[in-house]
Structures are given as structure tokens and as C-alpha cells.
């Protein structure tokens, strides 16, 4: 019995850590949806693009090397130097800000006032476009990402083993670090939204575009800022997931795991994204632990979506979302 209790505690703790990473991805969706009413399908691809750009910069890889070599008959792939991780992260953030400006300048600016479905379709097109650009820039092979984060289970607290009832359980160092970084980022985003001039302007735009314009708030600036912040969130998520499982094109699928988180927490709530991520993370781990052996396992692949479906039936706006009432 004590051994099962300790194992259950290990499952819950690992679920909480996975949930924080899910919430981190969901935050990018929430930020853009709150400020512009756009469900950004490309958020997962932004995490992929950021991670691939970071690896390329760190390795000194020449962007579009395959295209350049095929066009001019050259054989240039690398500049011949490596870039320190911190400096590479700063440069990658600059690329994400440039991407945010391009999205606003060449895509979203021309779709102001369109139906939400049109905006959603635009983000689908943006997602596939970014995938293609990432492939052309950095290649499609799986890349290893190492920015110096501790990995493995042999660094913390006696090999990260917590002895309870003479039993032990293990926690991956990367999960611990990712949880701490994600928690700090979430706290910073909440503080930014609540206590800064730009954060208040973002909330004003989210409440009413026309009213925000009437008091002198620039919608273009706010939207570029929001897409930039979402790009930063995507970069952090890309670093965490890329370090954990390698930088590959399946990394963009983490956005699919964020959908149930948004359905649970609500599309307009930052605290909702956090709570929804924790519920999904712990729920899927506990369900796999308790029910998985009875149904053949692999319940983590579908549990989150079934739970989200239940919420859609009984509480469509999610736990913290705003209930929308339309008069006809």
C-alpha cells in the first residue's frame, strides 16, 4: 500500500509538471485571442519555428543553405562559428518580433473586420507557411537542442530521489527547471497584463476595439506587441519541448494538446490556461495510472479530448471563460 501511494504521488507530481508545459503553450493562444479575437492555429508552429531558429543560430548554420546551394551550385552550410546560448536566444527573440511585425503588416492588417472564421483560416495558412519557411531555412532533420538546462535524474536532491515510506520516486531535472521557468513566465505575464500601461491597453483592446481607438490606443502597436509576446512564449515552449524530445516537425503538434486546456480554462483567461493545463496534466497521468491497465493503456492520447468534450457539453465557456449572451 505505501508503495502504491508513493507511485501515485509521483504520477501526480509529474502530471503537474506536464500540465505547466501544456499551460505554457496555451498562454500563447490566450494572449492573441484576448487582444484580437483570433484563435491562432499557428501557435504550435511558432514554437517549432522558434526552436529551429534557435538551433540554427547556435550552430552557426546558414539560413536557406539548401536553396542557396541548389541555386548557385555552392556547398555552404555553416558560417564556421557557434553562438553562445544566451546570445542566440536574444537573436531568436528578435526574429520572433520581426515575425510578429510581418504577420501584422502583411496578413492581419488586411483582415480587420472580417468574420472570425476568416481570421482562423488565415492562421491555418500562416501555420503551413511557417512550416515551409522553417524547412527551407534550417532543413527538416531532427536537431538536438541544448541551452545548458540540467537534464537527467542525477543532479538534484540525492539523484532527485525523494524517500517516503522507505520507497523513492524520480523526477526529471528538466521537468523541474521547466516548471520553475514556466511559473515565473506566467507570473510575469499576469503582472504585465495587470500593472503595466501596455498591459492595460491590451485589456482595453480586448474589451472593445472602437473604445480603445477613441482614447488613442494604437491597435497596430498592441497587436504587434501581443504577437511578439506570444512569440516569446512560443520560444520558451519550443526550448522546453525541444530540449526534452528534440527539435522536429512533430513539435508543432503540441498545439493540439493546448486545445483541451483552452476548453477547460476558457479562451480569454490567463489563470484559466494555468488551471486547465494542471487539470489536463494530472488528469491524464492519473487516468493512465488507474484505468490504463484495464483498457490496454495509451489513454494519454485521448483522455484530454474526452474531458474537453464533457466540458463543452456542460460548460462551453470553460471554468474561467466569459459567458457570451447574444440577443437576436
Q: In the predicted model, is pLDDT for residue 203 greater than 50?
A: yes
pTM: 0.86
Q: What is the rounded CA–CA span in Å between residue 5 and residue 1?
A: 6
**Contact present, 173 and 155 (Cβ < 8 Å):** yes
Q: What is the pLDDT of residues 228-266, one digit of tens each?
A: 988 998 999 889 888 888 888 888 877 788 888 988 888
Map out the domains of the chain with their CATH numbers. Answer: 3-314 (1.10.3470)
Average pLDDT along the chain: 82
Tell whether the model's pLDDT for residue 155 goes beyond 60: no
Contact yes or no for 262/26 (Cβ under 8 A)? yes
Quote the cell numbers at residue 220: 497596430
| Paired residues of 161 in beta bridges | 170
Residue 106 has pLDDT above 70, yes or no: yes
Q: Which residues touch 228 (CB under 8 Å, ≥6 apart)?
A: 96, 97, 100, 101
CB atoms closer than 10 angstroms to residue 14: 18
Q: Which three cell numbers stand for residue 155?
A: 543532479
**What does residue 143 show for φ and ψ, rounded to 5 degrees?**
-120, 145
| Helix (H) or strand (E) segment spanning residue 56 | helix 43-58
Amino acid at each position: 500500500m505505501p508503495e502504491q501511494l508513493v507511485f501515485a504521488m509521483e504520477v501526480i507530481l509529474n502530471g503537474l509538471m506536464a500540465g505547466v508545459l501544456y499551460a505554457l503553450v496555451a498562454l500563447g493562444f490566450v494572449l492573441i485571442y484576448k487582444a484580437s479575437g483570433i484563435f491562432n492555429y499557428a501557435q504550435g508552429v511558432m514554437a517549432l519555428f522558434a526552436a529551429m531558429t534557435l538551433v540554427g543560430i547556435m550552430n552557426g548554420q546558414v539560413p536557406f543553405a539548401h536553396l542557396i546551394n541548389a541555386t548557385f551550385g555552392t556547398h555552404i552550410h555553416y558560417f564556421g562559428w557557434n553562438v553562445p546560448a544566451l546570445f542566440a536566444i536574444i537573436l531568436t527573440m528578435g526574429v520572433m518580433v520581426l515575425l510578429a511585425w510581418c504577420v501584422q503588416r502583411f496578413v492581419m492588417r488586411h483582415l480587420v473586420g472580417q468574420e472570425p472564421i476568416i481570421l482562423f483560416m488565415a492562421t491555418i495558412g500562416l501555420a503551413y507557411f511557417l512550416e515551409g519557411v522553417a524547412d527551407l531555412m534550417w532543413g527538416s532533420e531532427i536537431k538536438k537542442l541544448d541551452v545548458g538546462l540540467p537534464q537527467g535524474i542525477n543532479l538534484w536532491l540525492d539523484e532527485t530521489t525523494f524517500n517516503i515510506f522507505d520507497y523513492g520516486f524520480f523526477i526529471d531535472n528538466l521537468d523541474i527547471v521547466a516548471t520553475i521557468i514556466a511559473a515565473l513566465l506566467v507570473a510575469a505575464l499576469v503582472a504585465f497584463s495587470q500593472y503595466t500601461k501596455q498591459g492595460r491597453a491590451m485589456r482595453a483592446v480586448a474589451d472593445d476595439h472602437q473604445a480603445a481607438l477613441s482614447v488613442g490606443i494604437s491597435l497596430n502597436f498592441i497587436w504587434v506587441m501581443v504577437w511578439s509576446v506570444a512569440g516569446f512564449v512560443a520560444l520558451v515552449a519550443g526550448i522546453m519541448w525541444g530540449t526534452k524530445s528534440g527539435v522536429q516537425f512533430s513539435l508543432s503538434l503540441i498545439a493540439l494538446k493546448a486545445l483541451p486546456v483552452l476548453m477547460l480554462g476558457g479562451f480569454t483567461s490567463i489563470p484559466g490556461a494555468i488551471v486547465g493545463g494542471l487539470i489536463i496534466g494530472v488528469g491524464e497521468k492519473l487516468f493512465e495510472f488507474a484505468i490504463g491497465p484495464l483498457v490496454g493503456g495509451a489513454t494519454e492520447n485521448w483522455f484530454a479530448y474526452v474531458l474537453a468534450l464533457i466540458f463543452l457539453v456542460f460548460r462551453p465557456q470553460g471554468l474561467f471563460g466569459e459567458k457570451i449572451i447574444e440577443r437576436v
